[in-house]
Amino acid sequence: MGAVRTPREKWIEEGLRALAAGGPEAVRVEVLAQALGVSKGGFYGYFRNRAALLEEMLDTWERGVSDDVIEEIERDGGDARERLERLFDYVGGHGTHVTSPALELTIRDWARRDEIVAGRLRRVDNRRMDYLRGLYGAFCPDEGDVEARCLISFSLRVGDHLIAADNGPRSRTEVLAAVRKRLLA
């Protein structure tokens, strides 16, 4: 009976975990193999080198934070406000490890030092903003208002967990609910 190979997706998943925890420098074949409890030989059955793994990790992240999220939100239909409500709930719950704030921030930091990653990030951000424009545009006739709502929504997604300020007498949850109400008005 032959040895069972660790699936390709497990290498990618573990690579994304390492990336979120320590940046691209933390994605090392030996470390991933150790975390998976396997030898590093299986890695080369799927990837020609570390760069190939990093590329597939970025592919997985890109799909996971754009196309997969959009498919999830669109699945149940509804009007634009209902879909925005679902989107806010989904990203507020941080979805999966691929959509986690830690991974998002790590990729954004990596993009500051790597042109290829920066290009992917721009493509992902544009895809997300285009989706938001379509939703807000369905009930906001003013293009400037649509763009403002999109930028506020997207900025909250990327930066909310970085803000350490208190919210006065209200909880962060209450303030975010008030923002959400205004965005959907």
> What pLDDT, in 10s, does the model give residues 50-103?
999 999 999 999 999 999 999 999 999 999 999 999 999 998 876 677 888 899
Same domain, 91 and 53: no
Same domain, 117 and 53: no
Q: Does the pTM exceed 0.95?
A: no
Same domain, 52 and 79: no
Between CA 9 and CA 133, with CA 124 as vertex, the angle to 5 degrees is: 135
- Asked if the structure places residue 3 within a domain, the reply is no
107, 123, 137, 184 from 79: Cα distances, Å: 32, 26, 12, 12
> What pLDDT sits at residue 95?
62
Same domain, 97 and 149: yes
Please give the Cα distance from 125 to 61 (Å, whole number): 12
Q: Choose among 125, 156, 131, 161: nearest CA to 146.
A: 131
Q: How many CB atoms neighbour CB 82 within 10 A?
A: 14
Same domain, 53 and 71: no
pLDDT tens for the 185 residues of the chain, in order: 444 567 899 999 999 999 999 999 999 999 999 999 898 888 988 999 999 999 999 999 999 999 999 999 999 999 999 999 999 999 887 667 788 889 999 999 999 999 999 999 999 999 999 999 999 999 999 999 999 999 999 999 898 888 899 999 999 999 999 999 999 99
Q: What are phi and psi of 102, to 5 degrees?
A: -60, -45
Q: How many helices (H) and strands (E) does the chain have?
A: 9, 0
Same domain, 162 and 71: yes
| Joined tokens for residue 50 | 């570390």
- Asked if the structure places residue 125 within a domain, the reply is yes
Same domain, 80 and 104: yes
Same domain, 50 and 91: no
3-state secondary structure of 173: helix
Same domain, 82 and 42: no
What is the extent of the structural domain holding 151?
66-183
Please give the Cα distance from 35 to 44 (Å, whole number): 16
Q: Give the domain CATH number at 33.
A: 1.10.10.60
CA 99 from centre of chain: 3
Cβ contact 120:62 at 8 Å = yes
Residues 6+ away with beta carbon under 8 Å from 116: none
